[in-house]
Amino acid sequence: MASSLTKEPAAPASEKTFFGHPRGLATLFMTEMWERFSFYGMKALLLVYLISGGPDAKKGSLGGGIGMDEGTAIAVFSIYVSMVYLLAMPGGWLGDRVWGPRKTVTVAAVTIMSGHVILALPGQATFYVGLALVAIGSGLLKANISTMVGQLYKDADDPRRDGGFTIFYMGINAGAFFAPLAIGTVGQKVNWHLGFAMAAVGMGIGLAVFLLGTKHLNPVSSVVPKPLSAEERTSWLRKVAVSVAVVAVFYTVVGVAGMFTKAWATIPLTLVGLIVPTAVLVRIKRDKELDRGEQSKMTGYIWFFVAAAAFWMIYDQGASTVQAFGETKASGSLLGFEFPSSWYQSLNPVFIMALAPVFAWIWLWLNRKGKEPSTVGKFAAGLFFIGVSFFFFLLPVAMSSNGQLVSPMWLVGIYLIQTVGELCISPVGLSVTTKMAPRKYASQMMGVWFLAVTAGDSITSLLSDPSVFGVDLNGTGAVAIEATLATLAALAVFMYRKKVKELMGDVR
C-alpha cells in the first residue's frame, strides 16, 4: 500500500513539489487531515456525550450530555455513521453534475464547520441539527476530495499516483489519531461543547488551507464533468421540493397529534439505510444494457457487498458498543496514568499507520512466490478476524459481569484484531469495486461500496434501538452471536470461493 517516494521520477527542476508530488497534494493532504481531525474528534466524543447524564453513564463522569440509555445512544450513533456514507453518493453526484469537485468540497467544509459550531451550543434541539449538518457535509466531501487527488496526475499512468494516494491516506490517519487525544480530552474532562468547538476550529483551519491552496490544484477540479441540462435541473428541483414538503407535512401532523417520539426519526432513517443500498444494487443488476460478463461480475460483487456489510456492522461498533464498554466497564487508567475513554479511538489509526506498509509488503512477498490469497480469500480472512475480535471481546465482557473494571489492554487487543481484519477487506474492497464495476456505472460503484457501511450500521441501529429490538449489544449473548455469525460468514465465503471466482470472470 505504501510506496517508496525515492523510486519515483523527479519532477522538473522548475516545478515546486511536495515530496516529489504536485504541490496541490499538500493542499489536499492538509485539508483532509484537518477535516478528519474535526470528524474523528467529534466521533470519539459522540457516544459518551449521548449517554452522559443518563442511566448508563459512568459514575463520576462529566455530566451535561443528552442522557440517553446505552441502547438508544448506539442506535443514534449508528444512524449518524450510516448517513455519512449514504450521503457520499449524492455528494459525488453533486460534484459530477452540479458544482464540480472543488466547489462541492468548499460547500462541504462550510457545512461541516457550521455543524460543529451548532454542536458547541447547549440544547438537544440544536444538537440534532448540528449532527445532521456534519453528516451532510462529510458525505459531500468524501468522494470529491479523493477525486481531486487523482486529478493532480494528468497522466493516468503517472507512476507517482499510488504514492500520492498513500501520502493522502496518511493524512487521514494522522488527523484521526490526534483528534481523540486533543478533542476527546477537552470534551470529556473540561466541557463537551468546548470539545465540539475545537472540532469546528479544526474544520475551519482545513477550509482556510483549502481556499488558500486552490491555485495549486488542477483547474479541471473546478469544471462540472457532466452538468445538468435546464430541463434536468428543473426536474430535480421539483422532486426535491415535493419530497421535502411531503416529509415536512407528515412530521408536522405527527407532532401536532402528540405522537412524535425518537422512533419516528430513528426507524425511518434506519430503513432508508437498508432500502437504498438494496435498491441501488437491484437497479444495476436488472439493467438490460449490461452484457453477460458485466451481469456475472455484478452477481459476484453482491457476495462482496454482503460480506462487507457484515464486516462493517461489527467493525463500526468499535466506536459505539466497544467504546461504551470502555467508558463504563474498563479501568480509566493504565500503569497509574489516567485517560478518557475517547482515547480508544486513536488506536485504530495508529495501528493502520503501523501495519498498512507491513501488509503491503506481505501481499507483494506472497505474490512473488505465487501464494498471494485471492480477493475472495482476503475477504474471508477479514470476516474471520472481525469474528475473532468479538470472541476475544467475550472475555472482558464475562470478567466485568460482577461489576469488576477490566484492564484497558483488553480493548487494545480488540482494536488490534479489528484493524488486521480491516486491512484484509477495506483496501481490497476498494480495488475490487473498481475492477468489477460495469463500464456504465464506473463512477457510481465507489458510492455503492460505501453503501455497504450504510447497510451494516443500519442493522446495528435496528438491533440496539429499544423501540425496535432493544438488544443489549454489550451482553454476552449478543456478542457471542455476532462473533459466530461473522465466523460462519467467513466460512461460507471461503467454501464458495470457486463459485465467486467464476462469477468474477477475468478479475482476480
Region of poorest pLDDT, from 142-151, 162-171, 418-427, 453-462: 162-171
- CB 379, CB 304: distance < 8 Å: yes
User: What pLDDT sits at residue 428?
Assistant: 87
**pLDDT tens profile 113-163:** 999 999 999 888 899 999 999 999 999 998 889 889 888 987 766 778 777
Percent of residues, the chain, with pLDDT higher than 90: 73
CATH architecture of 265-508: Up-down Bundle (1.20)
Which pLDDT score, from 0 to 100, does residue 156 have?
63
Examine the pLDDT at 1 and tell me if it is beyond 60.
no
**Is pLDDT at 378 greater than 50 in this prediction?**
yes
With cut-offs at 50, 70 and 90, classify the pLDDT of residue 7: very low
Q: Give the residue from 228, 187, 188, 7 showing the smallest Cα distance to 96.
A: 228
Q: pLDDT tier at 15 (50, 70, 90 boundaries)?
A: low
Of the listed ranges 319-328, 355-364, 391-400, the least confidently predicted one is: 355-364
The predicted-structure confidence for 88-114, as pLDDT tens digits, reads as follows 989 989 998 999 999 999 999 999 999
Q: How far is CA 197 from the centre of its chain?
A: 22
- Pinpoint the residues of the chain covered by CATH 1.20.1250.20: 15-227, 265-508
10 has pLDDT over 50: no
pTM of the predicted protein model: 0.92
Residue 9 has pLDDT above 80, yes or no: no
| Closest C-alpha among 114, 122, 98 to residue 236 | 98
Share of the chain above pLDDT 70, in %: 96
DSSP string, 66-123: ----HHHHHHHHHHHHHHHHHTHHHHHHHHHHTS-HHHHHHHHHHHHHHHHHHHTSSS
Q: How far is 107 from 85, CA to CA, in rounded Å?
A: 17
CATH number of the domain at 15-227, out of 2.60.120.560, 1.20.1250.20, 3.50.30.50, 3.30.420.300? Answer: 1.20.1250.20
Stronger pLDDT, 137 or 17, i.e. the higher one:
137
Cβ atoms 137, 109 nearer than 8 A: yes
Chain center to CA of 179: 16
